[in-house]
A and B are shown apart, each in its own frame.
Chain A
Amino acid sequence: MTHAPFIQFFDDDVAPAHDLLGGKCASLVALTAAGMPVPPGFAITTAAYNAFIHDAGIEADIHTLLKGLDPNDIAEVDRVSAQLRFEITSRPVPAELHAITLAAYEALQSRFDSPVPVAVRSSATAEDLPDASFAGQQDTYLWLVGVTDVTEHIRACWASLYTSRAIIYRLKNNIPNEGLSMAVAVQKMVNARVAGVAITMDPTNGDRSKIVMEAAYGLGELVVSGQVTPDNITVDKVMLMVVKRQIGDKHAELVPDLESKSLVELEVSEERRTQLCISDAEITAIAAIAKKAEKHFKCPQDIEWALDRDLPDGENLLLLQSRPETVFSSTATGSIPVTSGGFGIESITKSLMSQAGKA
């Protein structure tokens, strides 16, 4: 049987096919191809999911269960959701797929001197899931060690196609269940000293000449999910100069615990809270990489980044994600109201008056 590949490494040098990779993996492949410092990893493609569903023989069950479902009957949706997710997580992965996944995992591990933990994240295609641009939040499993843990969470990612929220979203938006699929990213875990996000515009006023970044200690999850108040820094995109700094409280950090081989949330000391968690040089580097991503994708980007404590200065900035900025980019700089338009003597006169507070 011929089928599309089940696995694609981010650095395989194969053009990203969105249908096959889903949004997140396609973006990671594109970023890697653009020379961005993306932590290494691979995608388990939608073809793998399709093969799994096919082999498990649950395709018909899925359609039957979803047919005629009332999105307002929450109890019924919850029941169907639970059953579908159980169907997926309880079925064995086909032998061929399992072998290929295992080989890919080992190929990834073989790049390092000692075993590294990985993250497993869902990578949805198009509008299959609500909040497409923030889909990653729900289905991210961090700091997984060992192949069994990894394969288990791959199925968990697949199952997330059928959370109650996702089912209701599709019903309400008339998105058909036929052809629904899901890719999964398996990626080397970053040991983040500091992490955060950056948007290549100022979301407060739509100014596209700025990059606004948020940063806090530890992994970026607490920033992304809004559980800490991060430092907030505005950089001029053209000059790469800081124009505003605001220190956030960032009271907690998510860091790996070497003993338990898992993540723990620790309190941040008073001293570290009251200072910026990134240096000027790091700010410039983050801004430069965000700018590069925007230039590559030709539209405002919303990136996730991290500074890896295991890597030397200058090589420790990693790009975890770059998505088109969908929330604010409708308000482009062109829409900032301007009172100093025009040129020549009329506008000069007006500028003089307003500069002196007389207009």
Chain B
Amino acid sequence: MTEKSFPSPYDQKPSDAAAGWKDLYAYNLVFQENRKEVEEAKFWFCDSQHWPTVTKPFETIGFEFAVSCLGQYNSRHLLIPPANGIEFRIHNGYVFMSPVGVPESEIAARVPQFMQRAGHYFQNWDTLLEKWQGKIRGTIDELNELSFDALPDMVPVEDVLSGKGTGPNNELLASFDKLISLTYRAWQYHFEFLNLGYVAYLDFFTFCKEVFPGIPDQAVAKMVQGVDMELFRPDDELKKLAKLAVELGLARHFGDTENPEATLSAIASDAQGTTWLAAWTEAQDPWFNFTVGNGFYAHDKYWMDHLELPLGYIKDYIVRVQSGHTIDRPVAELVAERDRITEEYSELLSPEQLEAFSGKLGLARQVYPYVENHNFYIEHWTMGVFWRKARQLSKMLHEQGFWPEAHDMFYLRRDEVRETLFDYVTGWGVGAPAIGPDYWPAEVARRRVIVDALSTERPQPALNTPPAVITEPFTLMLWGITSDQIKNWLGESDAPEGEFRGMAASSGVAEGPARVINSSDQLSEVQDGEILVAPVTAPSWGPIFGKIRATVTDIGGMMSHAAIVCREYGMPAVTGTGTASAQIKTGQWLRVDGNNGTVTIVEDHEHDLTLAPAAAIQLDTALAAAHLEGSHA
């Protein structure tokens, strides 16, 4: 039998409507015709975890910054001995990655460098992290100061009288450059600690796998993972606000939250409203710098800009509070469970092993919070500001006639935006119309057709021939690209019809009707008691996790957002199923086994769909009972 392979990108043409798509992206981002031999020799996997949909030309900034900074820290700052960065390409609009190894001969020389550099960070973790907080907040402040206003008809007279000597065109160009460079800076900060968080985790993980052969990945994650993370603060704030609203008797104002102004003014006119509004205002900074997406798309909606989103979530929480549900995450139970697991494994070790176990676990727990919390600071907060500013610029140029829709700028590459700004300031200076308004509308229309055409097709999960085994630590940890996963994608899985296998990412067993969600815009469709099935989830979907019974994703490993969130909410999750979201239909009855990593379509369940939420059953009782008995005995 010959080795099974994924298609070559050179044999994968998009539909005719998408012809010419490569020109939308920078030359270095696409598979170039004359590099066929080089590119086909590499294995590429689609990162639909972070870029599930087609990226518009401007949006490539997300992976260009993120993935290049990841690589920079592996290869240039820390000199991680066996791993360089990850190459990336865009193919038919989707993002593909290929890890870069370190030549055998160079590995040894990197070891002392790595030990000195990484060792310093581990030894001074808390002080360096405190410094990091200052650096990232300073960067966000600088980003916030940027503005992209239309150029005035004349230079303000005071600038003339003060002898300033430059015009606002100068600041406009500088602001754009600053927008890009500040965001690039933030992405470097993003990886200053993240890779180290992963290697410390990996060290503990490797030890556990050796001393307890076959220990479930989930057990290791549960021992390390924190339960009270900043990443969960936004959702926790909404819960607090919901409870406060009930307490103050304000619930009746949350009947229709689609119009935030009306809702908020109704609350303001209530005698108890002031207390609530003060809490509402306080929660916003910084916790409403939170996206329903993942921070990588221009259309991501941030709570701050769309108050109907947090108000809608609060409304849902109010309903749950009023019907006697507990809306808080089971923090005490999660802590007790984490302690139980840690203690039970500890008891099995020799004194010498226990010392190593405790030391590694201690370090992993110290560094781990960053692995989750950075997401709030960069993907949510920094990127929220970045996209808001970028949209402001796009709208300004739209108002200057450059393109027909407010957000059309995202069909331009970022360097084309710079050219366009030069065009704009030149026209302003010369006193003749800029060229862009006669060039961009037709070009944007052409690109829109191409992007729409690319969007109608799903990407291949991977390209070319996979290696026999995947060993690159970050690929395994972050993306969950295991040898088994690849087998799944190649259709070599031995799972029977109607069953999907993935990673047992969060324990427990649950049944319920499926709700397939392909984008965050569909989140409002999720009903109580359903099982969320999605290509990928974002951490910001937190508020709907109060409604659902379990989560199933196509992509992602133990450390994927869905896995982390489900463990925090104590609900079953199976991640990295490959194709579940394409094959499962909304309404189908599912059984999700987060202990074994299986999802089964139950064909002939005795169940009336109209009763779905109430009748959905939690089958986790045996496990829970066993644990309870264990802890009480």
A residues adjacent to B (C-beta < 8 A): 202, 205, 207-210, 234, 236-244, 280-281, 284-285, 287-288, 291-292, 295-296, 332-336, 338-349, 351-358
Selected contact of A244 from candidates B104, B214, B350, B472, CB within 8 Å: B214
Closest to A208 in B: B348
Residues of A within 8 A of B83 (CB): 352, 356
Closest to A335 in B: B350
Residues of B within 8 A of A355 (CB): 82, 202, 206, 471, 473, 476
Given contacts A292-B629, A338-B207, contact A238 B504 (CB under 8 A): no
Contact B471 A356 (CB under 8 A): yes
Interchain Cβ contacts under 8 Å between A and B, 29 examples: A209-B212, A210-B212, A238-B341, A239-B216, A239-B595, A241-B596, A243-B216, A288-B625, A296-B633, A333-B211, A333-B353, A334-B350, A334-B353, A336-B213, A338-B353, A340-B210, A340-B356, A343-B362, A343-B363, A344-B359, A345-B122, A348-B118, A349-B114, A351-B203, A353-B82, A355-B206, A355-B476, A356-B473, A358-B104
Given contacts A284-B623, A338-B356, A341-B352, contact A351 B472 (CB under 8 A): no
Per-position 1/0 for B607-633, Cβ under 8 A of A:
000000000000100110111011001
Contact B215 A345 (CB under 8 A): no
Closest to B363 in A: A343
Which residues of B in the span 423-468 have a Cβ within 8 Å of any Cβ on A?
A: none
Per-position 1/0 for B103-136, Cβ under 8 A of A:
0100100010011001100100000000000000
Contact A243 B114 (CB under 8 A): no
Residues of B within 8 A of A336 (CB): 210-211, 213
Give Cα A341–Cα B358 distance, bound, in whole angstroms.
11
Residues of B within 8 A of A348 (CB): 118, 122, 199-200, 202-203
A358 to chain B, nearest CB (A): 5
Residues of B within 8 A of A239 (CB): 216, 218-219, 341, 507, 595
B residues adjacent to A (C-beta < 8 A): 80-83, 101, 104, 107, 111, 114-115, 118-119, 122, 199-200, 202-203, 205-207, 210-216, 218-219, 341, 344-345, 348-350, 352-353, 355-356, 359-360, 362-363, 469, 471-473, 476, 504, 507, 509, 593, 595-596, 619, 622-623, 625-627, 629-630, 633
Closest to A336 in B: B211
Residues of B within 8 A of A240 (CB): 595, 623, 626-627
Contact A281 B118 (CB under 8 A): no
Contact A242 B596 (CB under 8 A): yes
Give Cα A241–Cα B118 distance, bound, in whole angstroms.
35
Contact A352 B363 (CB under 8 A): no
Given contacts A343-B359, A352-B199, contact A358 B82 (CB under 8 A): yes
Give Cα A207–Cα B215 distance, bound, in whole angstroms.
10
Residues of A within 8 A of B341 (CB): 238-239
Contact A234 B214 (CB under 8 A): yes
B605 to chain A, nearest CB (A): 16
Given A239-B341, A296-B633, A344-B122, 5 further pairs, Cβ under 8 A: A236-B216, A334-B350, A338-B210, A340-B356, A356-B471
Contact B214 A243 (CB under 8 A): yes
Closest to A242 in B: B596
Contact B356 A358 (CB under 8 A): no
Contact B473 A343 (CB under 8 A): no
Residues of B within 8 A of A202 (CB): 213
Listed residue (A202, A336, A351, A357) with the most chain B CB atoms within 10 angstroms of its CB = A351
Contact A241 B359 (CB under 8 A): no
Listed residue (B219, B355, B469) with the most chain A CB atoms within 10 angstroms of its CB = B219
Selected contact of B344 from candidates A237, A287, A341, CB within 8 Å: A237
Given contacts A241-B596, A340-B206, contact A347 B115 (CB under 8 A): no
**How would you classify the secondary structure of chain B's contact residues: helix, strand, loop or mixed?**
helix
Residues of A within 8 A of B593 (CB): 280
Given contacts A209-B212, A340-B203, A357-B471, contact A238 B345 (CB under 8 A): yes
Give Cα A292–Cα B202 distance, bound, in whole angstroms.
32
Closest to A35 in B: B629
Contact A352 B622 (CB under 8 A): no
Contact B213 A241 (CB under 8 A): no
Contact A345 B118 (CB under 8 A): yes
B476 to chain A, nearest CB (A): 8
Contact B82 A352 (CB under 8 A): yes
Give Cα A354–Cα B107 distance, bound, in whole angstroms.
12
Residues of B within 8 A of A347 (CB): 203, 207, 356, 360
Closest to A333 in B: B348
Give Cα A351–Cα B80 distance, bound, in whole angstroms.
12
Closest to B209 in A: A340
Contact B216 A358 (CB under 8 A): no
B511 to chain A, nearest CB (A): 12
Give Cα A74–Cα B134 distance, bound, in whole angstroms.
88
Contact A345 B115 (CB under 8 A): yes
Give Cα A341–Cα B206 distance, bound, in whole angstroms.
10
Contact B81 A349 (CB under 8 A): yes
Closest to A341 in B: B356
Contact A242 B348 (CB under 8 A): no
Selected contact of B596 from candidates A280, A292, A349, CB within 8 Å: A280
Closest to A345 in B: B119
Contact A236 B214 (CB under 8 A): yes
Listed residue (B81, B203, B207, B348) with the most chain A CB atoms within 10 angstroms of its CB = B203
Residues of B within 8 A of A210 (CB): 212, 214
Contact A241 B622 (CB under 8 A): no
Residues of A within 8 A of B359 (CB): 342-344
Residues of B within 8 A of A346 (CB): 115
Residues of B within 8 A of A281 (CB): 509, 619, 622
Residues of B within 8 A of A333 (CB): 211-212, 348-350, 353
Contact B216 A241 (CB under 8 A): yes
Residues of B within 8 A of A341 (CB): 207, 352-353, 356
Closest to A346 in B: B115
Closest to B621 in A: A314
Given contacts A333-B348, A338-B207, A349-B114, contact A209 B215 (CB under 8 A): yes
A338 to chain B, nearest CB (A): 6
Residues of A within 8 A of B218 (CB): 239, 241
A83 to chain B, nearest CB (A): 50
Residues of A within 8 A of B348 (CB): 208-209, 332-333
Give Cα A238–Cα B350 distance, bound, in whole angstroms.
17
Listed residue (A237, A344, A357) with the most chain B CB atoms within 10 angstroms of its CB = A344
Closest to B598 in A: A280
B355 to chain A, nearest CB (A): 8
Give Cα A10–Cα B83 distance, bound, in whole angstroms.
62
Would you list the 10 A-B pairs with minimal beta carbon distance, nearest first? A343-B359, A334-B350, A288-B626, A356-B82, A345-B119, A209-B212, A351-B203, A351-B206, A243-B214, A348-B203
Residues of B within 8 A of A353 (CB): 81-82, 107
Give Cα A287–Cα B626 distance, bound, in whole angstroms.
9
